[in-house]
Structure 1
Amino acid sequence: MTMFSALTSPSVHAMPRIDLWWVPRGVVLGLLAFVVFGPLVNLVLWTVAERWYFPHALPAQYGFSYWARVFAPRGNAIDALTTSIFVALLTVALSLAFAIPAGFALARLKLSLRGVILLAFLIPQAFPNLPVYVNIARLFYQVGLNGTVPGVVLVHTTHGLVYAVWIATAAFASVDAELEQAARSVGATALQAFRDVTLPLAAPGLLASAIFVFLESLDEFTGSYFVGAPDVNLLPLLLYSASSGGNYQIASITALLLLVPSVAFMLVVERFLKADVLSKVGK
């Protein structure tokens, strides 16, 4: 009986089973990390590279002299950053001034062409930017808007309205209409119910739409180039000038200046734009 048990029981010294699935998964994750973070690492290296030439895989000399050159009075980076932020804030204000009433109407009113109206805001994204901005620049020259901040703000707003109106509509649709009716039943006017009930509840979604518009304006190049250059100096234009001139250090520093607020604001969007708001987009 003892011999039979020893023969049928599993061996104490059996080899452990090795899971080899971690090899392809590790390779895939490594490639994904390289695709995502590789360009960012290269960008950061260029910002501190004093000398970097073939065949060196890493910079031959590190330093911060190009940072000093970018932020010097003649570097125009501070002026470009200030103008870019100013234009982006004006774009946000103009977009929200239109998107809040439009989004509320699209969320609350039973419009037969509601879907068509929402799709109409996608038209600026449906056509190639280059021929559109060439014609806009020609029209703006005739009315005196080319090379001005208001002209650039108007062009940026045409793109920002896509995010502003769609997200504002979803934000107002996520607010229960019965809360407005309850406020009206205790004597509040329609404006008071909107101001004290609906608007605060929709504020996180509106904040997210404002951040999307801000980032879209901050990164917009084609419209800024054809409508604003050379009179309106923006960071994307400075980035283009440095890149086309082969000055990769200054171009990388400028790109990093654009990247930092984008990442910071996207973290804010992820916090405030909840799933119940996203589920209302396009409905």
Structure 2
Amino acid sequence: MSTFLSRLDPWWLPRALVLGALAFVIFGPLANLLLWTVAEKWYFPHALPLEFGFSYWERVFSPRGNAVESLTNSIVVALLTVVLSLTLAIPAGYALARLKLPLRGLVLLAFLIPQAFPNLTVYVNIARLFYVVGLNGTIPGVVLVHTTHGLVYAVWIATAAFAAVDAELEEAARSIGASGLRAFFDVTLPLALPGLLASAIFVFLESLDEFTGSYFVGAPDVNMLPLLLYTAGAGGNYQIASITALLLLIPSIGFMLVVERFLKVDVLARVGR
């Protein structure tokens, strides 16, 4: 017994307490969220719901609940944002990775500008401009706003993905007669595809969770899941808000697992280089 105690790490208890606290901080809110999705009655001072059920799920997915429409709009907008962002990011990322452009660092930094200013003031002015040109309250208008944020991830990760591909492979294809375009599509693009896939997922998740732009440019004509979540939470409908949050959380977790698999360390190491 004394030998066992002498070999016991004296720091095991503080480490266990720290790990337990971290687990509570990470999984505690998730557990609370899941309980609210099936809680029929739950109020203070009860630590657990008094009644469980799925009546709020029926309300969320009823024709008057707007969840199906909001989910459809959110997915459509996110997919269109991915397509538009990658359409712009692939040629831009390739140029930034391969060509010796002047002020390359400033060009990359310019894509961070939408994140550098308070979103509220920016979107108020964008909404006014879009109202004049007829884009306010439309899906194309929401897609354009989401793309301004999505380009940050799309361009930076695409640049890193193309930089991680050895330029000599493309040169070897050119040396045996392949045109520049064919060398790009047959050699460079397939090798950069995992990074571009990760870029697309980041853009998709950013668009799916975007609230401020969706609110000022899309509401009330374009219903989105973040808007439904905000309305439910502001009205004290915690069950509906939790169900909506779960609908947003599930694809986020799934896609992040895909990102962890495909976005390799060598790609991350080249971000911003």
TM-score by length of 2: 0.98
Query: How far apart are residue 73 of structure 1 and its match?
Result: 1.5
**Residue 61 of structure 1 pairs with residue 21 of structure 2:** no
Equivalent-residue separation in structure 2 for 1:65 and 1:13 (angstroms)? 58
2:191 equivalent among 159, 176, 201: 201
Moved over 2 A (4+): 12-16
- Counterpart for residue 89 of structure 1: 79
1:213 equivalent among 200, 203, 206: 203
Larger radius of gyration: 1
- Counterpart for residue 3 of structure 1: none
1:118 equivalent among 95, 98, 108: 108
1:244 equivalent among 234, 244, 263: 234
1:46-77 Cα shifts (integer Å, max 9, x gaps): 00000001110110111111011111121111
- Counterpart for residue 155 of structure 1: 145
- Counterpart for residue 78 of structure 1: 68
Determine helix, strand or coil for the equivalent of 2:40: strand
Equivalent-residue separation in structure 1 for 2:144 and 2:153 (angstroms)? 15
**Residue 138 of structure 1 pairs with residue 128 of structure 2:** yes
- Counterpart for residue 222 of structure 1: 212
Query: How far apart are residue 14 of structure 1 and its match?
Result: 6.4
Equivalent-residue separation in structure 1 for 2:269 and 2:183 (angstroms)? 24
Equivalent-residue separation in structure 2 for 1:164 and 1:141 (angstroms)? 27
Pick closer, same or farther for the CA change 1:16–1:229 going to 2, 3 Å. closer
**Residue 181 of structure 1 pairs with residue 179 of structure 2:** no
Amino acid at match of 2:225: L
- Counterpart for residue 255 of structure 2: 265
Amino acid at match of 1:148: T
- Counterpart for residue 18 of structure 2: 28
TM-score by length of 1: 0.94
Structure 1: runs of 5+ lacking an equivalent = 1-11
- Counterpart for residue 277 of structure 1: 267
Structure 2: runs of 5+ lacking an equivalent = none
Query: How far apart are residue 19 of structure 1 and its match?
Result: 3.0
Pick closer, same or farther for the CA change 1:14–1:233 going to 2, 3 Å. closer
Determine helix, strand or coil for the equivalent of 1:50: strand
1:77-115 Cα shifts (integer Å, max 9, x gaps): 111101100000000000000000000000000012100
Amino acid at match of 1:55: P
1:248-274 Cα shifts (integer Å, max 9, x gaps): 000000000000000000000000000
Equivalent-residue separation in structure 2 for 1:198 and 1:55 (angstroms)? 61
- Counterpart for residue 231 of structure 1: 221
Amino acid at match of 1:233: N
Amino acid at match of 1:241: T
- Counterpart for residue 40 of structure 1: 30
Query: How far apart are residue 16 of structure 1 and its match?
Result: 3.8
> What is the number of residues matched between the two proteins?
272
Amino acid at match of 2:213: G
Determine what percentage of the aligned residue pairs are the same residue.
80
